[in-house]
Amino acid sequence: MLFFEYSFLFVFLPLVLAVYFTLPHSARNSWLLVSSCVFYSFSSWMFLPVLFCSIAVDFVAGGRIARTSDPAARKRWLLVSLVTNLGALAGFKYLGLITSGLGDLFGHERIPLLEAALPVGISFYTFQSMSYTLDLYRRRIQPACSFRDFAAYVSMFPQLIAGPIVRYADLESQLARREHSADQFASGVYLFVVGMAKKLLIADTLAKISAPLFAQAAPGFCDAWIAMLLFSGQIYFDFSAYSDMAIGLGRLFGFEFPENFRSPYRATSFADFWRRWHITLSSWLRDYLYIPLGGNRSGALRTHLNLLVTMLLGGLWHGASWNFLLWGGVHGALLCGERICRGRLPVPPKAVRQAMVFLAVTAVWVPFKFEAFAETLLWWGAMFGSSGVGSVGLIETAAVALLLLLVWLPRRIYDWDLRFDLPQVAYASALFISAILIGYGRAEISPFLYFRF
């Protein structure tokens, strides 16, 4: 069930909210848990046991970690959590890549290709659930008061499918008791509507405009760059739209989820980009992988190695593909190169740095966009080689110009004062109606891009 489908907008969400606000506070988490199970069942009901297996194992393991002071026992229960979650993730997501690689080494007759259907949202909820046991092991949080509250936290439908990856520490007090206000509800409505408009009016429009360019067998220089600039806009507005809608939905129920995007294409360095893009994933990788590996505490060579390993695994998190591994590796190399050059080269003006980072990130989106390595080489060849200039029309050029204005000029919605007053209600209503009419006026509505992860 997509957030912008009629069944969600006009049936599921109003019903869930109506019941939620009629219930006493003590029953609201139970209703959220039930609602989240129903929501998940619409897209992946057969994988509900996988979701609840992860929840149950981490609840039990976390409780045992918190209750014992024996270091060996605590490590054993942490290992149970990690093996369960990472084992499920590897089995469902990477089985095909693993058996394909082994088949290449030992022969596909001896090792056949094995693939499993991917449970929706498994990459997100396993990391979220694991962060609970990891933080308990580090004695940074207290264990959940009840299985119901922990299950409601992991399975909460606004952010279950594609994040943000919310840590238990972020919601611990809110699960126990949260306040509701008209201003908070209003800000939730506005965030949701703006997110829906970003998806239906901007991201899907950019996808439609760029589709003929990506269909070319031999793109030219201009074709390749314009297409990838449009894809940069599409993936940003698509994924940030989901995050905005998820955060908005959370506020309707009294929860404050962490911000997931902070104008990433305004970044002045690659490190700055990763502080702004998919913030909850990059901070998860930093806190639970990069820092435990040693971070930047053991010299330059070890720091660069830690960065590369973290970014390679971050790329692999997105999918079982050598292209994702390449995408993560290139970003790791850029981060290492940036650290090496720091203080050794003159610093260009801010606008120049922003443009350089944006264009580099756009070029590195190529292996993320395409499934086959040969396609990546073809498009990089068109962008940096001599495969011909190519040609693009006025519509594509205007779309890129508008994209740059949208990315660099306006204030962020999180900086707005969002209240129930007449001008803002009129604006939100007009935006909502426009998104519905235009979005559903298309022949086909595309799901969010990050649903495949």
Over residues 216-241, the pLDDT tens digits come to 888 888 888 889 999 999 999 999 99
Alpha helices (runs of H) in 119-256, residue ranges in sequence order: 122-137, 147-155, 157-160, 168-176, 182-197, 204-214, 221-252
Q: Is 164 helix (H, G, I), strand (E, B) or coil?
A: coil
**Region 125-147 average pLDDT:** 92
The pLDDT mean for the chain works out to 86
| CA dist., res. 406 & res. 371, Å (int) | 28
| Amino acid 32: pLDDT | 95
pLDDT category of residue 101 using cuts at 50, 70 and 90: low
Which pTM was predicted? 0.90
| Amino acid 45: pLDDT | 82
| Amino acid 363: pLDDT | 95
SS3 annotation, 279-326: HHHHHHHHHHHHHHHCCCCCCHHHHHHHHHHHHHHHHHHCCCCHHHHH
| Amino acid 17: pLDDT | 96
Of 278, 304, 318, 331, the active-site residue reads 318
pLDDT at 179 over 60: yes
| Amino acid 410: pLDDT | 65
| Amino acid 282: pLDDT | 94
pLDDT category of residue 444 using cuts at 50, 70 and 90: low
Q: What is the pLDDT of residues 332-345, one digit of tens each?
A: 999 999 999 887 88
- Cα→Cα distances 113→46, 53, 64, 90, 103, Å: 23, 26, 38, 15, 7
pLDDT category of residue 386 using cuts at 50, 70 and 90: low
pLDDT category of residue 136 using cuts at 50, 70 and 90: very high
Tell me the percentage of the chain whose pLDDT exceeds 90.
49
**Region 253-264 average pLDDT:** 93
331 flagged as catalytic:
no
| Amino acid 96: pLDDT | 66
The more confidently predicted of residues 389 and 69 is 69
| CA dist., res. 390 & res. 44, Å (int) | 43
Q: What is the pLDDT of residues 281-305, one digit of tens each?
A: 999 999 999 999 988 888 888 899 9
The more confidently predicted of residues 94 and 330 is 330
Q: What is the pLDDT of residues 395-432, one digit of tens each?
A: 777 777 777 777 776 666 666 666 666 677 777 788 88
**Region 172-178 average pLDDT:** 89
pLDDT at 154 over 90: yes
| Amino acid 415: pLDDT | 64
Helix 322-341 vs helix 300-317: crossing angle, to nearest 10: 150
pLDDT at 441 over 80: no
| Amino acid 253: pLDDT | 95
| Amino acid 201: pLDDT | 87
- Residue 450 gets which letter from DSSP? G
| CA dist., res. 49 & res. 84, Å (int) | 13
pLDDT at 443 over 60: no
| CA dist., res. 132 & res. 142, Å (int) | 9
pLDDT at 388 over 70: no
| CA dist., res. 270 & res. 331, Å (int) | 8
| Amino acid 16: pLDDT | 96
